[in-house]
Amino acid sequence: AQSVTQLGSHVSVSEGALVLLRCNYSSSVPPYLFWYVQYPNQGLQLLLKYTSAATLVKGINGFEAEFKKSETSFHLTKPSAHMSDAAEYFCAVTPLPQAGTALIFGKGTTLSVSS
Amino acid sequence: KAGVTQTPRYLIKTRGQQVTLSCSPISGHRSVSWYQQTPGQGLQFLFEYFSETQRNKGNFPGRFSGRQFSNSRSEMNVSTLELGDSALYLCASSPPDSLHGYTFGSGTRLTVV
């Protein structure tokens, strides 16, 4: 069975500082991994996805993530935080490359950015 | 192009009632999935429909049901509402190749009193 663990339910950084949000997955087959962001009272927006191509994935808004099979990790990073990055971030895994397969989400990490 | 549209945005219902939520996917997307989001349980998969057929179902009681129409629009229904059904219900659509990811709507906030 697949599962996702997000370490740290809340991360606080200063504006301009590095953002690092941790995600570890468990999967018996090669996984497809996603990071989503959720702003208050909104749905989920796809930041980036890993689908077995390049292990370093670049997404929107300056975010990127690196797939490390040996560590079963897919951590999300951004070199310099912006106030507008404050939101909740979800890591998700799905085992099959086809529509309809359920996404399995982590519990989420709330990112706070202070000036 | 238009995104995933969910209606209504907010609902307040009384215990024991039933409710129907609607989701219109992105044009051309034939797969529609539903998720429940609560502070305690997080995001949980309810079910997925493709070409009017339920292909996948999560671990929810039979009070939760859904359907999909020929135009790919989907509805989910919850009967005999319980307080614990209060949640944000999110709909997501995807093209046949999910490598493009899933596009979510803004959700329907259901409050059961």
Look at B58 and A41 and tell me if their CB atoms are within 8 Å.
no
DSSP 3-state of B45: strand
Most distant CA pair in chain A, distance: 42
Question: pLDDT in tens for each of the 113 residues of chain B?
Answer: 679 999 999 999 999 999 999 999 999 888 899 999 999 999 999 999 999 999 889 999 999 999 999 999 999 999 999 999 999 999 999 887 656 678 999 999 999 99
Q: Please tell me if residue A40 touches chain B, with a CB cutoff of 8 Å.
A: no
- Rounded Cα gap, residues A84 and B14, in angstroms: 37
Rounded to the nearest angstrom, the minimum Cα separation between A17 and chain B is: 28
Element (H, E) at B53: strand B53-57
Average pLDDT over chain A, rounded to whole?
91
Q: How many CB pairs under 8 A join A and B?
A: 73
The token pair at B53 is 């057929």
Per residue in A3-32, pLDDT (tens digit) is: 999 999 999 999 999 999 999 999 877 788
All residues of chain A having their beta carbon less than 8 Å from the beta carbon of residue B98 are 32, 94, 97-101
